[in-house]
């Protein structure tokens, strides 16, 4: 068979196996793996490893101080190009449960989408690499390159042990490139290449008033109210337009270059369609501002706040404590430790009664791969073959994949190419993966393997 | 028997019955009656009515559109002075449950206190009137005055039906004075007379961002965050010192007079001891400021706020909605409808995305009885007889009993005399009633009946 016949057969086999691929994904999704609650994660690791072994990949479950890493290898030729595919099999918590139209761990097909927690984020994407490798093995007896798989179980909890794991297994993980499929395609459906990610650091703020709840009638006016403390402190940190007011917060933000502005200008933009993917009538920003705010600017988010009583009826109290959770989304070259320090200093100056605690999620540094890396055009060609349309190149994604470990520890660059539909509702109720996106992802991985092999041969 | 022998015997009988009084209170407390959750309230009403009937009071459970009123009468002489004793048998919710040292509905004696939800607020106080009447019946064959009892089951939910009930039964409830025992003694243990109460109105604010939670990495910066909306709106409503910034909020606040300032100056004040009753190291205000802030100034309280996720682990979302609960504590002559209107107008001007909903608890107007009412010295003498020390006279209590219905509908003044210990932890975990306060309350009611009878005879 010619190379092109082999490739065609690989894609034909992927199509023929579509039913069993979907079935295997359902099996994976049906296994809860909420790292935040330590719910079912280890069971999911074993299930995933077994699924990989069944397809001829030397897979094992490697313990860490937290949740295990599922590691696998397909080494065809020790001298050949080696791609490390990174993904995560843990998922977000499911609440609010009552907003799910079908139970989160009962994968359900509706209107061409598979609904369930973890369908898009990230089980349906990491398994695409496995299925693509399997198809190459079946058709050609081998994959065009060497593959290593690192599927971790703590990404949704901030990957607290990934750095340690990579450092400990540095030699074993040696590779030429790290490839990550996570997040969604461009809302237009076009493929996307992501060369970096924002950083993130979690901060918890706890305000303490009295050591007990007090009656708001009998004591209202003389007992400190921790919700008011938090409110007033937060209002000094960020203005109503979202600008961060903390001294020095923007010091290390890399200025946006003309090249970046041009890249952004080439991205498609439909404010109504984009709005629908996030649940607002339309995006209220210009194209340039929209993309810059997601990719190239930091964001100071409040992900949760809680104090007192908001249940049925009423409870007339001055609450004893109030807590809020913040995740700061950073861009190069901000550093997590520096940002935490600045937030703490600000809070101490404004209201020393509020405790500021870093953590709650693993801190991740922002990370970017140079746009002239030789693998970029190879991956771009692969995606274009599958999608029939060129990939958009993002200097950075908005999210915070733990990419900094690859250049930082392995000295390897990373390229991301998400496979999910943009409205996958990751981290929300009714998370889903469009079935055609799922199948296309498997084809994409198969093509990426091929084109990287070609690139290595041509080099 | 002479009058003084009869009185002495009444108090002796009250002492002799102390075990059974405590037992009956335990029975009442063991019956949950959380009006906010409609939990056990009607069962508690029946239990209370039975307990009153057993003691010779014509008692009945009168339905309302909400929870029933337990009404009772002891009419000795249609022409005699008639006192209406008001109390409430419903209780606050119990969460956070894990902070209770003994279960809220298993009344438990520890260190001379009876712990349990509703011990102090208000079961242990309303039943004192019943036990006192019973002692008079046993010793003298009659109570020195006519008694009417209105024990409602929705006070902790804002007494939404009390006004309607009083209006409907206006003739039957006709009386010369309304007497209320609720709340705590002065922290020094001295008796207190309260001539009024602050008003209260509940307000819920709901901020809505997108129609779903969004991933704070992928979408952070372009999706409106409802917690930030609420934070910024709230910060424009109240300054860090607690001053309300809403236009016109203070317009109808009755200026504090010299007489009131003098009354306050006579109240005992120990900043460390007072602090301990509310769970802070010490009160941070001067005596004058402390009392004025509780009695004569309004307070804009946040009793609860909730959005997103603050559970174990982390959830990196931009929440779809955020909600906070406010209770505004008003003073004469502020009016609930006017305050709500001003809050709504302010919110609409600052951020129309935030919905402002009045309610969630019944609105109560502030109410005050004139300090020269002839019953004031009679009640004061009764309390001094029992406590051996003069009562402090408060122009207003801090809480929001539904007193406005008495002058408003019956045309009758009201006088309050709380029986509980100041650190009863009402509305908090570990609510309790000191056993000696409980017994002293029964003696106090017996004396109040006597002295009001004397006052009427002398008139």
- Among A212, A241, A321, A350, the strongest candidate for a mutation testing the B interface, having the largest count of B CBs within 10 A, is A212
Which pLDDT score is estimated for A236?
A: 98
| Rounded distance between C-alpha atoms, residue B444 and residue A214, angstroms | 27
Q: Is the CA virtual torsion A216, A222, A227, A228 positive or negative?
A: positive
Q: Which residue of chain A comes nearest to B242, CA vs CA?
A: A221
For residue B202, what are the contacts with CB-CB under 8 A and spacing of at least 6?
Answer: A314, B158, B325, B326, B327, B358, B359, B360, B361, B362, B363
Q: CB A310 to CB B322 under 8 A?
A: no
Domain count, chain A: 2
Q: Is B165 found in the same domain as B114?
A: yes
In this structure, of A120-129, B55-64, B142-151, B360-369, the range with the lowest mean pLDDT score is: B360-369
Tell me what ipTM this predicted complex has.
0.75
The 10s digit of each residue's pLDDT in A369-406 is 877 789 999 999 999 999 999 999 888 888 888 898 99
pLDDT at A360: 67
**Which of A306-310, A329-333, B133-137 is predicted least confidently?**
A329-333
User: How close, in Å, is residue A366 to chain B by CA atoms?
Assistant: 12
Determine the distance in angstroms separating the CA of B335 from the nearest CA of chain A, rounded to an integer: 16
Q: Which two tokens stand for residue B371?
A: 């300090």
Q: What is the model's pLDDT at position B170?
A: 97
Q: Which of B306, B328, B358 lies at the terminal end of a domain, its last residue?
A: B358
- A423 neighbors A112 (Cβ within 8 angstroms): no
Mean pLDDT of B6-34: 98
How far is residue A427's CA from residue A301's CA, in Å, rounded to a whole number? 15
Looking at the fold, whether A48 and A123 belong to one and the same domain comes out as: yes
User: Is B114 inside any structural domain?
Assistant: yes
Residue A304 CA to residue A308 CA, distance in Å, equals 14
* Structural domain of A304: 199-253+297-358
* Rounded Cα–Cα distance for residues B201 and B328 (Å): 5
Q: Are both B373 and B428 inside the same structural domain? A: yes
- Inform me whether the pLDDT recorded for B259 exceeds 80: no
Q: Is the pLDDT of residue B216 over 80?
A: yes
A417 band by pLDDT with thresholds 50, 70 and 90: very high
Q: Do residues A313 and A391 share a domain?
A: no
The angle at the Cα of A316, spanning B427 to B124, to the nearest 5 degrees, equals 35
Of residues A205 and A267, the one with the higher pLDDT is: A205
Residue A128 CB partners (closer than 8 Å, separation 6+): A181, A419, A438, A441, A442, A444, A445
For the cut 80, the answer to whether the pLDDT of residue A261 exceeds it is yes
Q: What is the mean pLDDT of chain A?
A: 94
Of B36, B215, B329, the CB nearest to A315: B36
> What average pLDDT score do residues A330-340 get?
92
Q: Say if residue A328 is in the same domain as residue A375.
A: no
pLDDT tens, B291-340? Answer: 999 999 999 999 999 999 998 888 889 999 999 999 999 998 899 999 99
State how far residue A293 is from chain B, nearest Cα, in angstroms: 5
Task: Check: CB of residue B237 under 8 Å from CB of residue B329.
Answer: no
Identify which of B55, B28, B50 has the alpha carbon closest to the alpha carbon of residue B40.
B28
Overall average pLDDT of the A70-77 stretch: 96
Q: Which pLDDT score is estimated for B141?
A: 95
Q: Contacts of residue A311 in chain B, CB cutoff 8 Å?
A: 36, 93, 95
pLDDT band at B182 (very low <50, low <70, confident <90, very high): very high
Contact call for B278 and A238, based on CB within 8 A: no
Q: How confident is the model at residue B362 (pLDDT cuts 50, 70, 90)?
A: low
Q: What is the mean pLDDT of residues A276-283?
A: 94
Q: Which tokens is A241 given?
A: 């337009």
* Residues A310 and A384 placed together within one structural domain of the fold: no
Q: Residue B319 and residue A308: Cβ atoms within 8 Å?
A: no
Q: Tell whether A89 and A213 lie within a shared domain.
A: no
**CATH number of the domain encompassing residue B32:** 3.40.630.10
Judged on CB neighbours under 10 Å (0-12, 13-18, 19+), B42 is middle
Residues A150 and A213 in one domain: no
Element (H, E) at B16: helix B3-16
Q: Are residues A113 and A235 in the same domain?
A: no
pLDDT given for residue B370 in this prediction: 77
**Beta carbons of A314 and B211 less than 8 Å apart:** no
Residue B277 placed within a domain: no
Is A267 inside any structural domain? Answer: no
A159 assigned to some structural domain: yes
Can you read off the two tokens belonging to residue A284?
């209220």
Helices A18-30, A435-458: crossing angle, 10 deg rounding: 110
| Yes or no, beta carbons of B302 and A35 under 8 Å apart | no
B99 is a domain residue: yes
Tokens of A26: 């359902």
Closest chain A residue by Cα to residue B329: A217
The whole-number average pLDDT for the span A196-203 is: 93
**Residues A317 and A183 both lie in one domain:** no
CATH code, B222? 3.30.70.360
Higher-confidence residue: B164 or B267? B164
> In which residue are the tokens 């449960």 written?
A97
Checking if the pLDDT of A254 tops 90, the result is no
Same-domain pairing of A181 and A321: no
Read off the pLDDT band of A322 (50, 70, 90): very high
A160 part of a folded domain:
yes
pLDDT tens track for B364-385: 899 888 777 899 999 999 999 9
Interface test with B, best of A39, A222, A279, A418 (most B CBs within 10 A): A222
Q: What mean pLDDT is predicted for residues B399-421?
A: 92
Q: Region B115-121: what's the mean pLDDT?
A: 98
Q: Which of A315, A338, A358 is the last residue of a domain?
A: A358
Q: How far apart are CA A180 and CA A193, in angstroms?
A: 10
Distances from the Cα of A199 to the Cαs of A187, A340, A403, A413, in angstroms? 23, 12, 9, 16
Average pLDDT over residues A242-271: 90
Domain end, chosen from A313, A329, A358, is at A358
Residue B65 in domain: yes
Assigned domain for B266 exists: no
Question: What is the band of A266 on the pLDDT scale with cuts at 50, 70, 90?
Answer: confident
Q: What is the overall mean pLDDT for chain B?
A: 94
- The tokens describing B419, both together, are 């029986």
- Name the pLDDT band for B413 (thresholds 50, 70, 90): very high
Taking CB atoms and an 8 Å cutoff, what residues of chain B touch A319?
A: 302-304
Mean pLDDT of A89-106: 96
* Nearest residue in B to A199, CA atom: B217
My answer on whether A209 and A168 are in the same domain is no
Q: Using the predicted structure, report yes or no on whether residue A179 has a pLDDT greater than 90.
A: yes
Query: pLDDT (tens digit, 9 = 90+) per residue, B427-452?
Result: 899 999 999 999 999 999 999 999 99
Give whole-number Cα distances, B205 to A227, A319, B200, in Å: 14, 17, 16
What residues in A contact B302, CB-CB < 8 Å? 225, 227-228, 231, 307-308, 319
Contact A315 B304 (CB under 8 A): yes
Are B323 and A314 in contact (CB < 8 Å)?
A: no
Average pLDDT over residues A43-53: 98
């Amino acid at each position: 068979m010619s190379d092109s016949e082999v490739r065609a057969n690989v894609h034909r086999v992927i199509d023929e196996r579509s039913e069993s691929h979907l079935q295997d994904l359902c099996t994976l999704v049906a296994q809860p793996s909420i790292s935040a609650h330590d719910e079912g994660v280890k069971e999911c690791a074993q299930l995933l490893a077994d699924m990989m072994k069944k397809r001829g990949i030397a897979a094992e479950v490697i313990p860490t101080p937290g949740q295990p890493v599922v590691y696998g290898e397909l080494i065809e030729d020790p001298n050949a190009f080696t791609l490390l595919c990174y993904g995560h099999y843990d998922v977000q918590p499911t609440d609010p449960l009552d907003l799910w139209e079908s139970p989160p761990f009962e994968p359900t097909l509706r209107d061409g989408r598979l609904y369930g927690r973890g369908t898009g984020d990230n089980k349906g994407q990491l398994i695409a690499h496995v299925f693509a490798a399997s198809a190459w093995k079946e058709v050609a007896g081998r994959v065009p390159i060497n593959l290593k798989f690192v599927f971790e179980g703590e990404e949704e909890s901030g990957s607290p042990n990934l750095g340690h794991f990579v450092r400990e297994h540095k030699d074993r993980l040696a590779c030429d490139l790290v490839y990550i499929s996570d997040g969604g395609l461009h809302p237009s459906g076009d493929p996307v290449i992501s060369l970096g990610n924002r950083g993130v650091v979690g901060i918890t703020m706890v305000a303490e008033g009295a050591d007990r709840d007090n009656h708001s009638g009998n004591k209202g006016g003389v007992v400190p109210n921790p919700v008011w403390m938090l409110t007033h402190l937060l209002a000094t940190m960020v203005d109503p337009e979202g600008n961060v007011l903390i001294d020095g917060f923007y010091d290390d933000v890399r200025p946006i270059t003309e090249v970046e502005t041009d890249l952004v200008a080439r991205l498609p933009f439909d404010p109504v369609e984009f709005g629908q993917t996030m649940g607002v009538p339309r995006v209220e920003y210009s194209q340039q501002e929209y993309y810059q705010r997601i990719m190239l600017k930091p964001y100071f988010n409040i992900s949760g706040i809680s104090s007192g009583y908001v249940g049925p009826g009423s409870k007339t109290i001055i609450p004893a404590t109030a807590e809020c959770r913040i995740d700061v989304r950073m861009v190069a070259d901000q550093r997590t430790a520096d940002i935490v320090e600045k937030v703490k200093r600000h809070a101490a100056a404004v209201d020393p009664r509020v405790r500021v605690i870093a953590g709650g999620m693993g801190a991740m540094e922002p990370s970017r791969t140079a746009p002239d890396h030789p693998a970029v055009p190879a991956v771009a060609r692969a995606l274009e073959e599958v999608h029939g349309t060129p990939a958009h190149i993002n200097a950075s994604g908005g999210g915070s994949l733990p990419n900094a470990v690859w250049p930082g520890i392995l000295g390897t660059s990373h390229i991301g190419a998400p496979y999910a539909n943009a409205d996958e509702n990751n981290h929300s109720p009714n998370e889903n993966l469009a079935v055609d996106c799922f199948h296309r992802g498997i084809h994409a991985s198969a093509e990426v393997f091929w084109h990287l092999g070609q690139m290595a041969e041509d080099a």
